[in-house]
C-alpha cells in the first residue's frame, strides 16, 4: 500500500516516469485486493448494523451523538473553533453563546439545517439525486453565513492550501460525472 502510494506521488510529479509506471502497475492489483477485503468487512458490519431495530435506545443515542460529532468535525475541518459542547448547545437550544463568533455559530445552524433536509427529504426519496438537491443542501449549509453564494455554483477559482480544485468552468462536467456515479445502480447497492 505504501509503495503504491509513493508511486502515485512520483507520477503526479513526473507522469511519464517509466519505472514508477511499471511498479505502480505491479502493486495496484495487490492494493485493490486489500481494499476489497476491507470493503467486504465493512459491508458485513453494515449488514449487522441494519439488523438493529430503530427503536433500540442505545442505537438512538449513538445516532444522536454521531450527529453532533458530524457537525462538530465538519465545521472544525473548515476552521471553526467551537467546542463539541458548544456545538451541541447551539443545536439543542438555538441560542447564541456570548463571546463566541456569530459566524461560527451560524455555520453550526446551517449544517444542522442541511442534515435535517437530507434526513427528512432525500434519505427515503425514490429517484436520482440531482443538481437541485445538492443546491438545496448547499443553500442550507451556507444560508446563514453567505446567503448570496448559498445554493449557487462558484464563479471563481478557489484554493485549499496548496491544492487547486477544478476551475469554475469545469464544475458542471465534474458534477455530471459525480451524479452519474452517485445514481448508478452498481455503486449504490
Spans of all domains in the chain: 1-51, 54-152, 154-189
Between CA 27 and CA 129 the distance in angstroms is 35
pLDDT digits (tens, 9 = 90+) for 143-172: 999 999 999 999 999 988 888 999 999 999
Whole-Å CA distances, 15 to 11, 22, 26, 151? 4, 12, 16, 36
pTM for the whole thing? 0.73
pLDDT < 50 stretches in the chain = 189
E strand segments, 11-163: none
Whole-number Å distance between alpha carbons of 101 and 8 = 41
What pLDDT is recorded for position 2? 78
Position 53 scores a pLDDT of 96
pLDDT of residue 189: 45
Report the candidate in 111, 177, 162 with the shortest Cα–Cα distance to residue 141: 111
- 54-152 belongs to CATH 1.10.3290.10: yes
Q: Is the CB of residue 59 less than 8 Å from the CB of residue 53?
A: yes
What pLDDT shows up at residue 125?
87
Cβ neighbours for 29, distance < 8 A, ≥ 6 positions apart: none
Amino acid at each position: 500500500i505504501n509503495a503504491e502510494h509513493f508511486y502515485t506521488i512520483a507520477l503526479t510529479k513526473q507522469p511519464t516516469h517509466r519505472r514508477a509506471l511499471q511498479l505502480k502497475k505491479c502493486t495496484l492489483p495487490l492494493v485493490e485486493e486489500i481494499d476489497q477485503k476491507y470493503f467486504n468487512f465493512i459491508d458485513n458490519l453494515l449488514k449487522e448494523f441494519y439488523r438493529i431495530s430503530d427503536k433500540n435506545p442505545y442505537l438512538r443515542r449513538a445516532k444522536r451523538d454521531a450527529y453532533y460529532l458530524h457537525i462538530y468535525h465538519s465545521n472544525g475541518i473548515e476552521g471553526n473553533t467551537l467546542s463539541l459542547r458548544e456545538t451541541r448547545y447551539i443545536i439543542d437550544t438555538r441560542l447564541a453563546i456570548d463571546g463566541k463568533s456569530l459566524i461560527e455559530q451560524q455555520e453550526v445552524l446551517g449544517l444542522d439545517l442541511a442534515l435535517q433536509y437530507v434526513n427528512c427529504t432525500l434519505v427515503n426519496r425514490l429517484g436520482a439525486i440531482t443538481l437541485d438537491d445538492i443546491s438545496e443542501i448547499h443553500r442550507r449549509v451556507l444560508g446563514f453565513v453567505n446567503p448570496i453564494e448559498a445554493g449557487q455554483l462558484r464563479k471563481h477559482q478557489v484554493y485549499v492550501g496548496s491544492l487547486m480544485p477544478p476551475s469554475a468552468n469545469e464544475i458542471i462536467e465534474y458534477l455530471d460525472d459525480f451524479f452519474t456515479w452517485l445514481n448508478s445502480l452498481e455503486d449504490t447497492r
